[in-house]
Amino acid sequence: MLKDEVLKLKKEKDIVILAHNYQVPEVQDVADFVGDSLGLSRQAAKVKQKTILFCGVHFMAETAAIVSPGKRVLIPDLEAGCSLSDSITIDQLRKWKKEHPDAITVGYVNTTAEIKSELDYCCTSSNAVNVVNAIPKEREILFLPDMFLGSYVSKITGRKNMQIWAGECHVHAGITPADIEKKLAELKNAEFVVHPECSCTTPMMYDIASGSYKNHQVQILSTEGMMKHVSKSDSQQFVVATETGILYRMRQQNPQKTFIPASENAECEYMKMITLDKVYRSLYDEKYEVKVAKKIADKARIAIERMLSIS
């Protein structure tokens, strides 16, 4: 059985497997750690193994390589990209910075290493509000690349001097307010957990900020925040607005609770490019290595470390 072969091979070669919450179930099943991109990068830095097989998209493997310069990072498919990461180029960022010479740049972790090397701060969906609040109120902020996360942060922090890049994740942008309305109307007792990258957050922003929406409890959370919340919550039924891959882990860890996707179509084609067969080939041939040039990695690490210091 392929699963057994993978488990045997990673042990023989002393390779640790990290898998993102959005990976297919059979890939999550062979991983040593499953989590969000930030949590997995932290694991990468901590593990004793010298080789990491990262089952996620390319920018995540790059981040792991940046925070673990002494380790080798492999990815099962080099084509596993990210529509959000692709929504800003290095030339566009440099031009934007020139237009706002005194601004502080804050970039979501869902960006390439090259983009990170041009940032003052990185942030994740779980600490974006805290990162922005840590910057003096009078300083202009350039926030990139996700416009929905940016709008959310701007509303919550009350910042009037925040410029937001018009990028989006094709999966989260596709979860519409209509999807949410329909699900919540059908499920009277469901709690609603939503990722701040979703386009559905914008029209509901003020209601959601107060913790409820049309008599439903609502939480805006990162993927790892969602995992923690659903296990602690007294609710028995949840509508989950993010990529559907996370439902597998939620159901595994909370078998007595019910999890319904806000949209069944919320699937990331890039995350799903990583298959168990590709994981096996990657282990067997020890390919494909993700490398970040030292000059870029050293600059990017500053922005990442600032992010890690703000919880």
Q: How far apart are the first and last CA of the chain?
A: 42
Q: Is 100 annotated as a binding residue?
A: no
Q: Which of 258, 218, 257 is nearest to 241 (CA)?
A: 218
Q: Is 195 annotated as a binding residue?
A: yes
Distance CA 40, CA 52 (A): 11
Residues 6+ apart with CB under 8 A from 231: 253, 254
Q: Is 244 annotated as a binding residue?
A: no
Q: Is 55 annotated as a binding residue?
A: no
Q: Is 193 annotated as a binding residue?
A: no
302 C-beta neighbours (distance < 10 Å), count = 15
Q: Is 268 annotated as a binding residue?
A: yes
Q: Is 280 annotated as a binding residue?
A: no
Residues 6+ apart with CB under 8 A from 95: none
Q: Phi and psi for 252 in degrees, rounded to 5? A: -60, -45
Q: Is 196 annotated as a binding residue?
A: yes
Q: Is 123 annotated as a binding residue?
A: no
Distance CA 22, CA 6 (A): 19
Q: Is 37 annotated as a binding residue?
A: yes
Q: Is 233 annotated as a binding residue?
A: no
Residues 6+ apart with CB under 8 A from 180: 192, 194, 200, 204, 239, 241, 262
Helices (H) and strands (E) in the chain, counts: 15, 13
Q: What is the DSSP letter of 188?
A: T
Binding-site residues for iminosuccinate, in ranges, read 20, 37, 108-110, 125, 195-197, 223
- Binding site per annotation, positions for [4Fe-4S] cluster: 82, 169, 268
Binding-site residues, in ranges, read 20, 37, 82, 108-110, 125, 169, 195-197, 223, 268
